[in-house]
Amino acid sequence: MKHIQTVILDRDGVINFDSPDYILSPEQWLPIPGSLEAIARLKHAGKQVTLCSNQSALGRGMIDQAMFNRIQAKMIAQTEQAGGRFDYIAVCPHGPDDGCACRKPLPGMLLDTLNALDIQDKSTVVMIGDSYRDVQAAHAAGIDAILVRSGYGDADAIFEKSKVLMPNIQSFNNLAEAVAMLLDQ
């Protein structure tokens, strides 16, 4: 997959540990070991790295925009300290019943990202996520996906369900392993 030029990442469960109770403060945002270094590795290899993340805690009123900004600032600062950087960040703040076009499994955020970065060739893009919603959004946007097992949920069931949409989908333990495969092939 050396032809991949842009990697779209989900946040919770891919970059940082996820929680069934949401990430509601900067103190709860804890990077998965190796994830920030994996982002740095992508950047050093000349790849674009973007983030597309559902953050319904905002729409549900569980956190306000100021708290969300503090969580994002911590993620960005720690990523930069590790030598990485995001080329674009897209966030859906809506709840599952809000009827937006951006919330995964819909492809809105991914398509907005492709447009913002003026990406014409979708074969050069891959989405790395931890949920079936991520795979559905990638499929709907016309891009490939990779799963990581570091998220919250039954990784085996997610992988089996995802293979129906994308028979050649791969699954790795975490972002570091997925990036190693992307860069070492």
The answer to whether 154 is a known catalytic residue is no
Q: Is 115 exposed, middle or buried (0-12, 13-18, 19+ CB in 10 A)?
A: exposed
Q: In this structure, are strands 88-92 and 144-148 parallel, antiparallel, or unpaired?
A: unpaired
Q: Which of 10, 18, 130, 144 is catalytic?
A: 10
- CA angle at 56 for the pair 147 and 19, rounded to the nearest 5°: 55
CA distances from 41 to 73, 76, 178 (A): 21, 15, 11
Q: Which of 12, 18, 130, 144 is catalytic?
A: 12
The answer to whether 118 is a known catalytic residue is no
Q: What Rg do the C-alpha atoms of the chain give, in angstroms?
A: 15
Spatial distance between the Cα atoms of 6 and 46, rounded to a whole number of angstroms: 9
Catalytic residues: 10, 12
